Structure 1
Amino acid sequence: MSAVRMSAVAAAGMVVAVTAVTGCAEKADGKASDAITVTATDSTCEVSRTTFPAGHIRLAVENKGSKVTEVYVYTPSDQIVTERENIGPGTKATITAEIKAGTYQIACKPGMKGDGIRQKITVTGKGAAKGDARLDAAVAAYRTYVQEQADQTVPVVQQFADAVKAGDVEKAKSLFAPSRVGWERTEPVAESFGDIDPLTDTREDGLEDGQKWTGWHRLEKSLWQDKKAGPEEGALADQLVSDLKDWQTRVGKADITATSMANGAKELLDEVATGKITGEEDRYSHTDLSDFDANVEGALKAYELLKPVAAENDAALTAELDKQFPALTTLLDKYRKSGGSTEFVSYDTVGKDQRKELSDAVNALAEPLSKLAAAVAK
């Protein structure tokens, strides 16, 4: 996950359809001039309109402050509806979204910490009724995929936890990366709940004030840096299993739409760019390439399900994605321990020039992928 994420209480029973993309995507059912502007500074979050009709909207965000900021849309219960991270000083971002009627909050987070500076917004009406059987089928297939990933993850995490509790440091190390694969493939769905991700996948530098450090990376530090798996680690391992079982039961209730699938695919590439490429994600184990590979696999799955509609609406876009996905996966294959292996070399053995090559390939894919949501929303 990214270094900083707010811990929030997930909303119960609230259904929100939303997508977000970067770039110059136009509002699906309106003009670019209809965009709601969000102007962020280090101390303010100004929204040009606080009431607008349900349906497709376009948020034009500009960071006029001196700090990197984030923009979130929250439900009243602080469930994350959509987000955009890492908006640098003097830069802009576009969020194209489909939002149902209700009350929400737009939050700007200068410095990417805390609850943010919030503005209440009201979305009225029913929105445009629009359906495509192919997209409905894509959503159903993706929902099955997400559930399968959760179902496959929990038993491996249990094996990891058992090794920790048995004090078997080397076995626990061998199970650390495999225990994360299903999570990394579908992380945007888990993050949408707000409260699970901070418990399971927060790095030490991403802790909020007063937040207890738990989850994979807390155990990673113990296993690799401290070289121990004692009673404290055993308790943390049990909590990780419990938290991920909670995730497993909740993913079936997640609100998933075609556009949120597309947005999630882009978020997975952002995860690679901001955590895996830098080596910050798995800084003790150096298993970043395993997470990297899982992120790309999850993004590819969403794209493949959406491709029939996206190709019809924007053939040039899908042609580019069909070129960039294989280019990145072929590059990743160079770092597998053997042909077809699910294990990768330690990331601390990957040199600066090689990391630059990987970064360039990620960026080459991320740019067209940012337009996928707009293509399926046409």
Structure 2
Amino acid sequence: MPRALPSAPSRHRLALLALTVLAVPALASCTENGAGGAGDPGGPGGDERTVSVASTADACEMSAVEAPAGTLRFDVTNEGSEVTEFYLLAEDGLRIVAEVENVGPQLSRQLVVDAPAGEYVTACKPGMVGEGIRSSFTVTPSDEEVEVPADEQELVDRAEAGYQTYVQDQSDQLLVKTRQFAEAYTTGDDDAARELYPRARTHWERIETVAESFGDLDPRMDAREADLEPGQRWTGWHRMEKDLWPERAGDYTPLSDARRQTFADALVADTEELDGRIGDLEFSVDQIANGSRGLLEEVATGKVTGEEEYWSRTDLWDFQANVDGARVGYDGVAPIVTSKDAELASQLELRFADLQELLDAQRVGDGFTSYDDLTRREVRDLADAVNALSEPLSRLTATVLA
């Protein structure tokens, strides 16, 4: 979900450094330059499937409000003064079909998605808050038939089935660990709850882009205090995180046993609901590729800055989990990428390995060091490695769909 930054006085010194490192390189390097397609040298599928989006503080101007089914490209340019996001939502306006986040002022990003015919909702979200500036978007039926060679279709089928199995397995493990965490939390075994907290969240973070696609559940389960909008009730993981690690909260009043029970019961119920919904999902290769890229964006905007786990300082657990999920997504489509762009595949393999080496250096037992223990150089090195991986990963979807 979109992340709002905490107020300046509360930001951790390393978070400020990481934001400085990431501000230009990460956002600029994520601009996709997709492989050309018929009728459009700059993008797949021709001009009729390329939609320009101009986001400002009070408008989300689109060059078209409909396009034929197939591989669509949204070229998103931020003409405003705040960081923005662009979403393609399902007809209900809740489920996220595809998204690009953290488009800095005067920068452009590209969203490539294989969209079947149907009704959709688009949204620009200047400032990364609220429901965004929305409009209807129609994908019309197309008579164009795309012939996929049998050997490539086999790779596609294998990638889609494998990823579906992975996501369901992570969701099942999330539910088990969440119940264990809730039990420890409500019975007052805070040491056990603190031990379980990052372990349970690992399974959430590995499939975070899938979980975020449910626009009603994600805010209830994963909102940070800095994300809250006026009148919004704070629930979920981070509400309990603050209660377990109140040291940075100043004058903090611990939650009563009754309130602990309320928050824990709600989190378990929402996790059960999430697990059930995930069981009904099917994934296409463009969703897998976009999800891999999206997980790395989560690293850049919350984990490498040290802002995701503001109270517990367990950000590196989340960092690793996001990378795990991004790597699994990439590995599933890697045979397709290798057949179409072997150089890109080699580059991704190398940069995933470079980033993993830096993360492995921060391991303590089967976990990670506290984010507070990282040096300024270590934060910078991690940020640089994320940036280096972001650029080739931003080309993944266009390559898979080429």
> Does 2:196 match 1:205?
no
Quote the Cα distance in structure 2 between the aligned partners of 1:264 and 1:293: 16
RMSD over aligned Cα atoms: 1.8
SS at match of 1:253: coil
Structure 1 segments unaligned to the other structure (5+ residues): 6-20
Residue type of the partner of 1:58? R
> Does 2:293 match 1:266?
yes
Report deviation, 1:236.
0.5
SS at match of 1:286: coil
**Deviating 4+ runs (over 3 angstroms):** 26-30, 126-131, 226-229
Residue type of the partner of 1:177? P
Residue type of the partner of 1:89? P
Quote the Cα distance in structure 2 between the aligned partners of 1:190 and 1:28: 32
SS at match of 2:277: helix
Give the counterpart of 1:44 among 49, 59, 68.
59
Residue correspondence of structure 1 range 51-200 to structure 2 within 5 A:
51-78=66-93, 79-126=95-142, 128-131=145-148, 132-200=153-221
Quote the Cα distance in structure 2 between the aligned partners of 1:4 and 1:195: 18
Once the two structures are superposed, residues 238-265 of structure 1 have per-residue CA deviations (whole angstroms, 9 ceiling, x without a partner) of 1111111111111122241111111101
Report the CA distance shift for 1:28/1:219 in structure 2 as closer, same or farther (over 3 A).
farther
Residue type of the partner of 1:184? E
**TM-score scaled by structure 2?**
0.86
Once the two structures are superposed, residues 198-240 of structure 1 have per-residue CA deviations (whole angstroms, 9 ceiling, x without a partner) of 1111101112332211111000001101584632122101111
2:272 match: 245
SS at match of 1:152: helix
Residue type of the partner of 1:171? A
Residue type of the partner of 1:75? A
Quote the Cα distance in structure 2 between the aligned partners of 1:217 and 1:111: 22
Q: Which segment is superposed worse, 327-336 or 227-236? A: 227-236
Report the CA distance shift for 1:209/1:27 in structure 2 as closer, same or farther (over 3 A).
farther
Q: Which segment is superposed worse, 25-34 or 117-126? A: 25-34
> Does 2:345 match 1:318?
yes
Residue correspondence of structure 1 range 18-29 to structure 2 within 5 A:
22-26=31-35
8 Å Cα contact 1:27/1:96 also seen in 2: no
Report deviation, 1:196.
1.6
Quote the Cα distance in structure 1 between the aligned partners of 2:254 and 2:160: 43
8 Å Cα contact 2:2/2:128 also seen in 1: no
State the percentage of identical aligned residues: 44
2:241 match: 220
Quote the Cα distance in structure 2 between the aligned partners of 1:102 and 1:27: 25
> Does 2:386 match 1:356?
no
Report deviation, 1:313.
0.3
Quote the Cα distance in structure 1 between the aligned partners of 2:377 and 2:254: 34
Residue type of the partner of 2:377? D
SS at match of 1:120: strand
